[in-house]
Amino acid sequence: MSENASLYSTYNRIPLRFERGEGVWLVTEDGSRYLDFAGGIAVTSMGHAHPHLVEALKQQAERLWHLSNLYEIPDQTRLADRLTRATFADRAFFTNSGAEALECAIKTARRFHYVNGHEERIDIITIEGAFHGRTLATIAAGGQAKYLEGFGPKASGFIQVPFGDMDAMRNAVGETTAAVLVEPVQGEGGIRELPAQYLRDLRALCDENGVLLALDEVQCGVGRTGRLFAHEWAGITPDIMAVAKGIGGGFPFGVCLATEEAASGMNPGTHGTTYGGNPLAMAVGNAVLDVLLEDGFLEHVRDVSLVFKQGLAAIADKYPDVVEEIRGTGLMLGVKCKVPNSEFLVAMRDQNLLGAPAGDNVVRLLPPLTTTAEEARDGLSRLDAAAAALSSGTS
């Protein structure tokens, strides 16, 4: 649009102008209300303007915005303590984004081998369809041609194997492997879940070969699947994990978590960030955890997920010419479309419902974790109407 002529044209923007948000709702400048099941792509985990998050940010804004990591930042230590207590991890490094959390994960893995006398272990093995971010290293990790094209030589040391193929993974792991990096549930790749058995086999494979297991839970973590982190469903733990999106609830930050051993190469001077872990971000992160760790919160996510899954299954049955299948887990759901997913998203917007596109012709539904059963049913009836509008059976 001409209004955006002064911006990089990297986004084809939808002509909607939202002015404010309230829980699962976004409100345009002219007062139209949209049910937001895109959630800024799994970011607004607690909905828009959650009172506890707003209060935490306001209070911090009046006290102190920024400090360099040259100083102690008590709220950063507190959040790291809480995250490490709640997970496999012993150490945390805070970043501003998901891609930076992945950069830290990759550096941590290579550095671990370096300090252990294995300079040759630099390769990171990833899975086809992956998305790990848009920096030069993370587009190499993601391996998608559309994101690599025209940006010069692909960063070396990234190898990719087909999705869900353990034999290919076994063949790829070798003497120069530093880490295997996977999303337990691929988000941008089309809501594709790695089977629990695959993750368990992967853990064993890494252990047998002295290779680190790094997980990208930027999208599927932070309660999204109904457990604190998605890998918990498989009963495994990684050595390193990148987290972002939902952890900030809309305040931009991420974190790389690691075991004491995996992080052992990251000593003073090896890595740094100006903004990562700044007091504003940490105030919001602690507030997100307050809600996330409340008794019964994850149970709520699982309950509402069931409402979605039943409703989506019914829609898939009713409109077989529009919906091919329903995918996903928790509140990370995908509608694989028979019509182009872009058309389905337009039909949803006509019902004042927002979703997000994904690869493999999927529409992603990533509602806030605070979505109520009633709001889920409201969204499902809008989805039904969107599918009906596209179905030849009813149009």
Ligand X SMILES: *Cc1c(COP(=O)(O)O)cnc(C)c1O
Report the residue number, 253 or 308, with the smaller CB distance to ligand X: 253
Residue 207, marked binder: no
Amino acid residing at 133: G
Among residues 191, 160, 190, 195, the alpha carbon closest in space to that of 177 is found at 160
Total of residues contacting ligand X (CB under 6 A)? 15
DSSP-derived letter for residue 38 is: S
Residues 190-229 that bind ligand X (CB under 6 A): 216, 218-219
- Write down the least CB distance from residue 366 to ligand X, Å: 10
Closest CA to 222 of 258, 255, 248, 246: 246
What is the nearest approach in angstroms of ligand X to the Cβ of residue 113?
23
Q: 347 and 386 in contact (C-beta within 8 Å)? A: yes
Using the rule CB under 6 A, which residue among 40, 133, 223, 248 binds ligand X? 133
Strand order across the beta sheet in which 353-354 lies: 18-22, 25-28, 33-36, 353-354
88 labelled ligand-binding:
no
Among 132, 192, 224, 231, contact with ligand X (rule: CB under 6 A): 132
Using CB under 6 A, pick the residue from 88, 93, 112, 131 that binds ligand X.
131
Dist. CA 174–CA 26, nearest whole Å: 49
Contact between residue 14 and residue 348 where contact means Cβ atoms under 8 Å apart: no
Segment lying near ligand X (by CB under 6 A), choices 96-104, 157-165, 226-234, 376-384: 96-104
Q: Cβ-count burial of 239 within 10 angstroms (0-12 exposed, 13-18 middle, 19+ buried)? A: buried
Q: Closer to ligand X by CB, 139 or 283: give it.
A: 139
364 forms part of the interface with ligand X (CB under 6 A)? no
Judge contact between 276 and 93, C-beta under 8 A. Answer: yes
Selected binder of ligand X within 21, 40, 47, 187 (CB under 6 A): 187
Neighbours of 379 (CB within 10 A): 25
Q: How would DSSP label each residue in 190-238?
A: TSEEPPHHHHHHHHHHHHHHT-EEEEE-TTTTTTTTSSSSGGGGGT---
Q: Of these, 36, 123, 183, 375, which contacts ligand X (CB under 6 A)?
A: 183
Measured in whole angstroms, how far is the alpha carbon of residue 234 from the centre of its chain?
A: 18
379 lies in the site for ligand X, by CB under 6 A:
no
- At closest approach, how far in Å is the CB of 191 from ligand X? 11
Closest CB to ligand X: residue number: 98
CA 74 to chain centre: 26
For residues 154 and 338, which CB has a smaller minimum distance to ligand X in the complex? 154
Select from 152, 153, 130 the least CA-distant residue to 141.
130
CB of 66 to ligand X, least distance (A): 20
Determine, following the binding rule CB under 6 A, whether residue 180 of this chain makes contact with ligand X: no
What track of x and - describes contact with ligand X for positions 54 through 93 (by CB under 6 A)?
A: ----------------------------------------
Binder among 97, 177, 329, 361 for ligand X (CB under 6 A): 97
Q: What is the distance between the terminal CA atoms of the chain, rounded to a whole angstrom?
A: 31
Task: By CB under 6 A, tell whether 355 contacts ligand X.
Answer: no
Q: Using the rule CB under 6 A, is 126 a contact of ligand X?
A: no
The answer to whether 382 contacts ligand X (rule: CB under 6 A) is no
Among the listed residues 21, 98, 223, 265, the single contact to ligand X using CB under 6 A:
98
Provide, rounded to whole angstroms, the least separation between the CB of residue 208 and ligand X.
Answer: 26
Sheet holding 91-95, edge to edge: 91-95, 254-258, 240-243, 212-216, 177-182, 123-127, 158-161
Q: Is 305 in the site for ligand X (CB under 6 A)?
A: no
Extract the annotated binding site for N(2)-acetyl-L-ornithine.
Answer: 134, 273
Extract the annotated binding site for pyridoxal 5'-phosphate.
Answer: 98-99, 131, 216-219, 274
Which residues are near ligand X by CB under 6 A? 97-99, 102, 131-133, 183, 187-188, 216, 218-219, 244-245
